[in-house]
Amino acid sequence: MIGENPSGLTRRRVLGGGLAIAGAVAATSLLDAGGAQAAAPAPGAALRTAGAAYPTRMVRAAQTLVYPQSWSVRPFPLTSVTLGQSVFTRALNQHLVLYRAYSVDKVLAVFRRNAGLPTNGATPPGGWEEFGPNPDLQRWGPREYVRGQNTAGAGGCLRGHYGGHFLSGISMAYASTGEVALLNKVNAIVDGLEECRAALAAQEYQGAPRYSHPGFLSAYGEWQFSALEEFAPYGEIWAPYYTLHKILAGLLDAHALAGSTKALALAEGIGHWVYSRLSKCTSAQLARMWGSYIAGEYGGMNEVLVELYWRSNDAAKSEFLDAAHLFTLHTLVDACAAGTDTLNGKHANQHIPQFPGYIKLAAQTGDDHFLDASKGFYDMVVPGRSYAHGGTGEGELWGPANTVAGDIGPRNAESCAAYNMLKVASYLFFNEQDPKYMDYFERTVLNHILGGRRNQESTSGPENLYMFPVQPGARKEYGNGNIGTCCGGTGLESHVKYQEGIYFRSADQSELYVNLYIASTLEWEETGLVLEQVSSYPEGETSTLTVKTAPSGPLTVHLRIPGWSSGAEVQVNGAPAGVDAVPGTYARISRAWAAGDTITVRIPLTVRVEAAIDRPDIQALMYGPVVLTATSSSTSYLKVSLADRLDLSGDVTRGISKTAANVFTIGSQSYEPAYNGRDVAYHMYFQRNEPSVTFAGQDAGVANPKRSNKTLLDEVWERAPFADRSAFLGAVGEVSAAYVAAGLLTARNRQRILLAAGRAPIDGGN
């Protein structure tokens, strides 16, 4: 593919490199509603408390949510699900403090400056959301700009993206809470954007409109788009359609969640403008543009244009769907559909956001080629390029297929990539209810997304990390909270929509999918069901779902049994439900429900290891769905022996202790959950080191032999769980005999191994 950056240049290096330049600009002062500058206050009780709110039914009635007919399963509105107390609550509450405090004038500053309007004294948020070194010149229209004219670099060339994310996030926050003040901010931002667009449309250059279409809306001039059509590289421009996607997505969220018809009208204008530009481009031109490293990064433009087509009643709305097609990167789509892996060396988050758009194009057009490509793409990333916490990529780029340990480097797992992979997984699930998609969703939203929100209140920024690295002695890239960066932008959304994946419903309203065991209440308006889930998961094993108000008819409930689990139990009204709770499936209960009925799901939580797909000795420690990170600043892999701590299930049970909040001690090493948002040095992976063959404290006195990159102990424990002690001893016998036959173990040493296994209290715990 053209321009896939063999040099490894990233978005950050062009601007000077490193966290200190790209995201760690000092937090700017907060502004009051009138624009007067004031010091950022410490979050107080007023900001932690919800203000006046509209009733849920009123909030829901104003929403416009559309789903394609082909999706057999669909999400619930954010308004329909309320979070209870859980590990997610702290991030949600901390984020609501930000939204209650933040000034609309700061969000609009870059748009107003570009449109020639007063900024009311406001400065931009900071970071990449800045005025930049050349804000007045960068109002250029396409007729003004000549290639190479921008000599000031990429600084300021992404401005507007963060405001789009902010509009999405505050619309989500309003949908979740109904708070009047949040709705007022949504409407104020939309009003401000409408004023800016009118000012842009009125500008002239040489006696004619400065910009090519009255629907144009941006925080810089149209020149970046025309320069991209002439193949300007990243550095002269940044990623103009990426920024536009965020603005368009924010407007669509304001329409969908806050009922803003004005936002829809603005979005329609943008859609017509996009079509007016791209419809004049040749196929070869588009292919080169979208294959261009970062300059051609367009986020999810295809997704929002399909969404706009679904929402709009515009007489010319077919232009929106036509424009969505024009963002197709055919070489990538065709390769993924054919199962040909071409991802090595590609910029991960340049390409991941395209696939939700392809899935929606498949839904609209019936072209399964897009859906096949999306499924093929997902399987190329999960699990073969996914770290333990669900993240992907090193230095923003993908490495070779089926390489995890071999791709651990200093800057792994961009937060934006995880945000967008969650979309891919859930959209695929809406088409095909494969539990693997929601297993990935759970792992990633719990560890990467929640863990990506620093456990700290702020009134100036999202406190969201950029990279969630996985190398030994890593620190999360929190910087200044990533104000203004791409990951700060997605972080503005992620922490106010945790409820989006807990429950799904069938298109015919007859089936409920319980995907995540998170304390919450579901109000299913169409059926009348009110369902309360009480759970301390993943710190406790049991979740109880109580029917508060019965649905109007029979209902089938699908309960996700995680693929990593063992021994899950399901009860209805205190008695066994009589369903198969098979790992990696959904347990299915069909019946007429009455108020007071309960479903109890117990998923045993145990400590286990997960080996990297390419190196069995590089492993992560898991507690159920939770990634446990070792607190250590060492920059070399910790060498950890666990074989003599395992029980018949293959779980770590000997010499291990657990305290509150899922903090564990194994030997002298402390481990804590990746989701806790602490800013400390940690190890997500360790190196398994079993120098001798040992079972439950019984050392055979024999060096642990190795073949095909696995040791004898690896091969024994691969067969776990064992039904009983006899099965365990049988496995030890078979594996050790194979090593003798291969000339890797003497018969005498095999006898020592068998004796140690026989003496081991393997069926005991601590």
List the single range of 38-47, 546-555, 625-634 with lowest mean pLDDT. Answer: 38-47
240-299: pLDDT as tens digits = 999 999 999 999 999 999 999 999 999 999 999 999 999 999 999 999 999 999 999 999
Given a contact cutoff of 8 angstroms between Cβ atoms, the answer to whether 126 and 27 are in contact is yes
Residue 57 domain-assigned (yes or no) = no
Q: Could you tell me the CATH number of the domain that includes residue 592?
A: 2.60.40
Given 228, 261, 282, which residue is the final one in a domain? 282
* Residues 587 and 711 both lie in one domain: no
* Mean pLDDT of the region 517-542: 97
User: Is the predicted pLDDT of residue 7 greater than 60, yes or no?
Assistant: no
- Structure-block tokens of residue 758: 């026989």
Q: Amino acid identity, residue 173?
A: A
Task: Round to whole Å and give the CA distance between 67 and 30.
Answer: 38
User: Is the predicted pLDDT of residue 758 greater than 70, yes or no?
Assistant: yes
* Mean pLDDT of the region 647-665: 94
Confidence of residue 335 (pLDDT cuts 50, 70, 90): very high
420-429: pLDDT as tens digits = 999 999 999 9
Task: Round to whole Å and give the CA distance between 630 and 150.
Answer: 47
Residue 346 domain-assigned (yes or no) = no
- Structure-block tokens of residue 202: 């009125």
The pLDDT of residue 49 is 86
48-80: pLDDT as tens digits = 888 899 999 999 999 999 999 999 999 999 999
Residue 137 domain-assigned (yes or no) = yes
First to last CA, the chain: 55
Confidence of residue 23 (pLDDT cuts 50, 70, 90): very low
575-598: pLDDT as tens digits = 999 999 999 999 999 999 999 999
Given a contact cutoff of 8 angstroms between Cβ atoms, the answer to whether 427 and 414 are in contact is no
Task: Round to whole Å and give the CA distance between 240 and 159.
Answer: 9
* Domains: count for the chain: 3
- Structure-block tokens of residue 606: 């145990």
* Residues 596 and 726 both lie in one domain: no
The pLDDT of residue 709 is 85
User: Is the predicted pLDDT of residue 311 greater than 90, yes or no?
Assistant: yes
Confidence of residue 3 (pLDDT cuts 50, 70, 90): very low
* Residues 90 and 225 both lie in one domain: yes
Task: Round to whole Å and give the CA distance between 238 and 356.
Answer: 22
* Mean pLDDT of the region 543-564: 97
CA distances from 515 to 60, 274, 443, 622, 763 (A): 23, 37, 12, 19, 33
- Cis omega before residue 383 (within 30°)? yes
The pLDDT of residue 439 is 98
Backbone angles phi, psi at 324, to 5 degrees: -60, -40
The pLDDT of residue 70 is 96
514-526: pLDDT as tens digits = 999 999 999 999 9
Quote the distance between the C-alpha of residue 519 and its chain's center: 20
Maximum alpha-carbon separation in the chain: 96
Given 248, 282, 316, which residue is the final one in a domain? 282
User: Is the predicted pLDDT of residue 14 greater than 60, yes or no?
Assistant: no
Given 559, 575, 602, which residue is the final one in a domain? 602
The pLDDT of residue 42 is 59
The pLDDT of residue 47 is 86
The pLDDT of residue 32 is 28
* Residues 273 and 164 both lie in one domain: yes
Beta-bridge mates of residue 682: 474, 631
- Structure-block tokens of residue 724: 């009983």
User: Is the predicted pLDDT of residue 228 greater than 70, yes or no?
Assistant: yes
pLDDT > 70: percent of the chain: 94
Q: Residue 603 burial by CB count (10 A; 0-12/13-18/19+): exposed, middle or buried? A: buried
Residue 623 domain-assigned (yes or no) = no
The pLDDT of residue 50 is 85
The answer for residues whose C-beta is within 8 angstroms of residue 60's C-beta and 6 or more apart is: 77, 79, 80, 525
User: Is the predicted pLDDT of residue 40 greater than 90, yes or no?
Assistant: no
Residue 91 domain-assigned (yes or no) = yes
Residues making up the chain, counted from first to last:
766
Residue 274 domain-assigned (yes or no) = yes
pLDDT > 90: percent of the chain: 91
Closest CA to 253 of 188, 196, 311, 172: 172
Confidence of residue 45 (pLDDT cuts 50, 70, 90): confident
* Residues 598 and 697 both lie in one domain: no
Confidence of residue 226 (pLDDT cuts 50, 70, 90): very high
* Residues 596 and 722 both lie in one domain: no
Q: What is the pTM of this model?
A: 0.93
Task: Round to whole Å and give the CA distance between 353 and 348.
Answer: 9
Confidence of residue 762 (pLDDT cuts 50, 70, 90): confident
Residue 236 domain-assigned (yes or no) = yes
Residue 470 domain-assigned (yes or no) = no
Range of the domain at 735: 693-765
The DSSP code sequence of 193-226 is: HHHHHHHHHH-EETTEESSS-TT---SS-THHHH
Query: Would you report the helix, strand and coil content of the chain in percent, each value rounded to 5?
Result: 40, 20, 45
* Mean pLDDT of the region 80-98: 96
